[in-house]
Amino acid sequence: MTQDPNIDSKIGNDAQILWRIVMLCMRYPGRVIIAVGATIIASLFQLAVPQLIGSAVDGALGLIEDNNTVGYSANMALFKTAALLLGVSILRGLFTLIHNYTGEAVGHMMAYDLRLSFYNKLQNLSFSFHDKVHTGELITRGMLDLEGVRMFVSTGLVRLVLLTVLIGVGSYLLLSTDLLLGALSLSFVPFVAYRSAVARLKLRSLWLALQERMSIIGRIMDENLTGIRVVRAFGAENYELEKYKTAADAAKELADQRIKTRVSSTTIMTFAYFIAMGLVLWFGGLRVLEGQLTVGDLTEFLAFMTILQLPVRQLGLLVNSFARASSTGRRLFAVLDMKPNISDKKGAKPLKITNAHVAYKNVSFQYNEKDQLPALHNISFELRKGCSLGIVGPPGSGKSTIAHLLTRFYDVTEGKITIDGQDLRDVTLDTLRRHVLTVPQDPFLFTTSLENNIAYGDPWAKDEQITDAAFIAKIDNFIFGLPESYKTLVGERGVSLSGGQKQRISIARTIMLNPSVMILDDSTAAIDAATEQEIRQLLKTPMQTCATIFISHRLSTLLHSDEIIFIDNGRIVERGTHESLIAENGRYAELHKLQNLSTKNSEHIATKTKEVKL
């Protein structure tokens, strides 16, 4: 299946989706058997109540027609019937408790399995999937849609067994007692079945549309909370509130339609039920008067129909449960069934590093087959341990794409990439990403301590490793100045830190793992030039044991690289050392002149400002 979250043609029809949910429940066969068994027993006890009442009525009337022992015998008969009814009701309640509890337990255990599977799937799906799907959409599927599947166990499966036993066994008992009255008692069932089918189709489409609307609400909230500082800075609170209100109103409208559909369907089915009860009372009364039926038999029919009233009302809930489970299950399974574009091939072997010899051989790459131009075209270069490569070029030229291919976030379209002669597609992802590490352009910090953020790649790292990495990244003095030092809690996404501080922590996180290939993707852009040079000097030692790639817009970062390549429109247009590229007087030299001029102007402005202050 392709990684398109909207595709569901291969998920199967509604029956297959519901059957799949049933099979998930069968991972706990013991509890399922207890739930179903308890439901059947509770139903049978409930069906025994009308028969007991009917027998009691006939017995009492028979005693009334008898002679002198009427009072005592009638009281004893009523007492025995009452005691029997009480016992049956207690047993019915006990088994109802068992099937309710066990059904809920199965639902929650199934939800636990699905929750872990869903989260595991998100961890393994390729970058190409996450590039297209919004985080809010995935959160909605992993929470609201999963909840809809969970509730199907208790509100759908168990309730279906209950209604099947009540209507099936009850129908047999009534028809075997009196065919005409039995048929009248059940006359509403075909109509209810028809209305249930119609309501289910409509409810299914409404549930599916509602879940889509809830996904939109999730996306809006996620974007708003992530960018809350931008919202506040531009005074866009009212705009965001209106956007959220519009989405919430659209969801509420669908929710209202769903409730109206369910309530109207239940009301019509209940009306049909009362018509059937009226017919039973009318024709049953005539048969009693004609002596063809006892009062107890008629009471039994009416008592049964009274018991049947609750299942009739629950048919609407049952239909709603089936509709919700089929729609939410489709959305959930659409993600669970996806296959990652990037995965270990059969027979993949661990990456073995000897010289950290990186080679790009005629590499071309397209992010999407629909793209007219490739992001990279015929890229070739080599890099070895202890050497460094600088990559520069205008925005969107393909610099970061080169880094993404080396960590196999994406696979090359043409050509190949090797490390010590091993094609990246032939080695395991786990070992590849342990040896090849990237310091990203946009560092991400977790809501935990600075210590844990630096040691994220190795949670069991020693304190000396963490502090040494922080020293190389020139962040140790800042950390020691904090009240709790390395134990200081970092806010969400590192909001309490500056951009340069976050980048230095990200550098420390990578250095601590001693990578065989290290990529710094514009990772010093938010650091001042002086600090960057200090970091570069301190990186000399770890760089001796790894191959290093510097990607940057700032040429001062690349000056000392063994080779520099200039990328434009996905092609290498210039390559060489800093000195040779300056001598060529091409694109690189032009960029160097512009940056030098900008630096001189900035220094001139700073000097004038200082003179004015003095």
DSSP assignment string, 458-517: -TT--HHHHHHHHHHTT-HHHHHTSTTGGGPBPPGGGTTS-HHHHHHHHHHHHHTT--SE
- The reported pLDDT for the residue numbered 58 is 61
pLDDT tens digits, one per residue of 116-156: 888 888 888 877 777 777 777 787 788 878 888 888 888 88
Q: How many whole angstroms separate alpha carbon 398 and alpha carbon 377?
A: 9
- The reported pLDDT for the residue numbered 239 is 80
pLDDT, mean of residues 477-498: 77
3-state secondary structure of 575: strand
Single-letter amino acid, residue 101: Y
Q: How many whole angstroms separate alpha carbon 403 and alpha carbon 398?
A: 9
Model confidence at 352: pLDDT above 80:
yes
Strand partners, 417: 360
- The reported pLDDT for the residue numbered 346 is 86
Highest mean pLDDT among 338-352, 418-432, 447-461 belongs to 418-432
Model confidence at 380: pLDDT above 60:
yes
Q: How many whole angstroms separate alpha carbon 499 and alpha carbon 480?
A: 18
3-state secondary structure of 565: strand
- The reported pLDDT for the residue numbered 602 is 47
- The reported pLDDT for the residue numbered 77 is 62
- The reported pLDDT for the residue numbered 605 is 41
pLDDT tens digits, one per residue of 185-244: 777 777 777 777 677 677 777 877 887 788 788 778 877 777 776 777 667 778 888 888
If one compares 533 and 438, the residue with the highest pLDDT of the two is 438
Which of 280, 305, 303 minimizes the C-alpha distance to 293? 280
pTM > 0.85: no
- The reported pLDDT for the residue numbered 604 is 42
Q: How many whole angstroms separate alpha carbon 507 and alpha carbon 512?
A: 9
Confidence of residue 606 (pLDDT cuts 50, 70, 90): very low
pLDDT tens digits, one per residue of 28-38: 888 889 988 88
- The reported pLDDT for the residue numbered 216 is 82
- The reported pLDDT for the residue numbered 61 is 61
- The reported pLDDT for the residue numbered 64 is 56
pLDDT, mean of residues 318-340: 81
Mean pLDDT value across the chain: 79
Q: Which two tokens stand for residue 490?
A: 């970092």
Query: Which of the residue ranges 100-109, 133-142, 541-550 would you say has the lowest mean pLDDT?
Result: 133-142
Q: How many whole angstroms separate alpha carbon 116 and alpha carbon 463?
A: 32
pLDDT, mean of residues 251-279: 82
If one compares 57 and 124, the residue with the highest pLDDT of the two is 124
Confidence of residue 611 (pLDDT cuts 50, 70, 90): very low
- The reported pLDDT for the residue numbered 104 is 86
Report the length, in residues, of the chain: 614
If one compares 301 and 31, the residue with the highest pLDDT of the two is 31
DSSP assignment string, 416-474: EEEETTEEGGGB-HHHHHHHEEEE-SS----SSBHHHHHTTT-TT--HHHHHHHHHHTT
Query: Which of the residue ranges 19-28, 257-266, 529-538 would you say has the lowest mean pLDDT?
Result: 529-538
CA dihedral (51, 52, 55, 58) in degrees, to 10, reads -110
Highest mean pLDDT among 111-115, 154-158, 262-266, 539-543 belongs to 111-115
Asked whether the beta carbons of 377 and 371 are under 8 A apart, the reply is no
pLDDT, mean of residues 107-113: 88
Model confidence at 354: pLDDT above 80:
yes
Confidence of residue 57 (pLDDT cuts 50, 70, 90): low
Highest mean pLDDT among 62-71, 88-97, 437-446, 483-492 belongs to 88-97
